[in-house]
């Protein structure tokens, strides 16, 4: 079985695949100080609850955008599962995705995996909108090549920053307000975070589509992923699909392609 690990800025997600079938998925808050032993105690306990044993794992793949966590996640695979993890971005690891940006090494592993997985399921050209710690737009052109995108702060990050620097503004939840005009401080903040971010998403998608497919033929497919993706997708017709499995599916694809090669 394959242990797939996606280390993002907010969470580390681990999944076990038996072929194409996902047998379990778990997440833990990202912390660069967490040791391989601590990861093992957490992960092995959850695997046991799902009827899985560490001996079931005979391969691993890791994608990390958090350098402080990468070493201990590698040690987790080696010391506790007895496998050397395939690492996305390492020399010799082929994604099977053409990267058409100025410096391909700048693209985050999670963004490339999202684009790779999306091209295996949805028609190109396409845009993957990932709403998490950051809000990223990953663009794939009509040829199926990753051609760049946009990076902006995520709504939760922006809300935390607003709460920290403005003494009179409370911490509020990100919800969909019934009206755009807030009738109080909390309502005004929630409107800014929800309708403001949705307007940014719709505005940027409009501009991306104008550059990517000026005539509208072929049409641009838009997929949303990330913790807040579904909440925003429900409020706009510009997002066509909700898919929170993209990164893990991308890891599975990369592992298969490199095992074959």
SS (H, E, C) the chain: CEEEEEECCCEEEEEEEECCEEEEEEEEECCCCCCHHHHHHHHHHHHHHCCCCHHHCCEEEEEECCHHHHHHHHHHHHHHHCCCCEECCCCCCCCCCCECCCCHHHCCHHHHHHHHHHHCCCCCCEEEEEECCEEEEEEECCCCCEEEEEEEECHHHHHHHHHHHCCCCCCCCCCCCCCCCCCCHHHHHHHHHHHHHHHHHHHHHHHHHHHHCCCCCCCCEEEEECCCHHHHHCCCCCCCEECCCHHHHHHHHHHHHHHHC
Is 160 annotated to bind a ligand? Reply is no
Q: Which residue has the tokens 């690990």?
A: 5
Catalytic residues: 110
Check the annotation: does 103 bind a ligand: no
| pTM for the predicted model, two decimal places | 0.90
* Superfamily holding 2-87: ATPase, nucleotide binding domain (3.30.420.40)
Q: At the fourth CATH level, which superfamily is domain 104-249? A: ATPase, nucleotide binding domain (3.30.420.40)
Fold agreement between 2-87 and 104-249? yes
Q: Is 119 annotated among the ligand-binding residues?
A: no
**What does the pLDDT profile of the chain (261 residues) look like in tens digits?**
999 999 998 899 999 999 999 999 999 999 999 999 999 999 999 999 999 999 999 999 999 999 999 999 999 999 999 999 999 989 899 999 999 999 988 888 999 999 999 999 999 999 999 998 889 999 999 999 999 999 999 888 888 888 788 877 888 889 999 999 999 999 999 999 999 999 999 999 999 999 999 999 999 999 999 888 999 999 999 999 999 999 999 999 999 999 865
In the chain, domain spans: 2-87, 104-249
Judge whether 7 is annotated as a binding position: yes
């Amino acid at each position: 079985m394959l242990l797939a690990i996606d280390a993002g800025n907010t969470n580390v997600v681990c999944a076990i695949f038996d072929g194409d079938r996902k047998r379990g998925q778990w997440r833990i808050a990202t912390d660069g100080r967490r040791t391989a032993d601590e990861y093992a105690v957490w992960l092995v306990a959850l695997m046991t609850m799902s009827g899985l044993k560490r001996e079931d794992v005979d391969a691993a793949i890791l994608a990390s955008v958090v350098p402080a966590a990468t070493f201990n996640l590698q040690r987790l695979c080696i010391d506790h599962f007895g496998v050397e993890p395939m690492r996305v971005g390492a020399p010799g690891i082929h994604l099977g995705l053409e990267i058409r940006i100025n410096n391909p090494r700048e693209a985050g592993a999670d963004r490339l995996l999202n684009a790779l997985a999306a091209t295996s399921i949805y028609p190109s050209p396409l845009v993957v909108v990932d709403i998490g710690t950051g809000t990223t737009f990953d663009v794939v052109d009509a040829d199926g090549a990753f051609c760049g995108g946009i990076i902006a702060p995520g709504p939760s990050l922006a809300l935390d920053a607003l709460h920290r620097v403005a003494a009179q503004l409370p911490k509020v939840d990100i919800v969909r307000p019934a009206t755009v005009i807030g009738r109080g401080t909390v309502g005004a903040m929630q409107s800014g975070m929800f309708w403001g971010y949705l307007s940014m998403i719709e505005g940027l998608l409009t501009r991306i589509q104008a550059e990517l497919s000026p005539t509208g033929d072929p049409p641009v497919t838009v997929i949303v992923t990330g913790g807040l993706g579904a909440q925003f997708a429900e409020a706009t017709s510009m997002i066509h699909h909700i898919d929170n499995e993209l990164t893990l599916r991308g890891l599975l694809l990369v592992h298969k392609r490199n095992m074959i090669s």
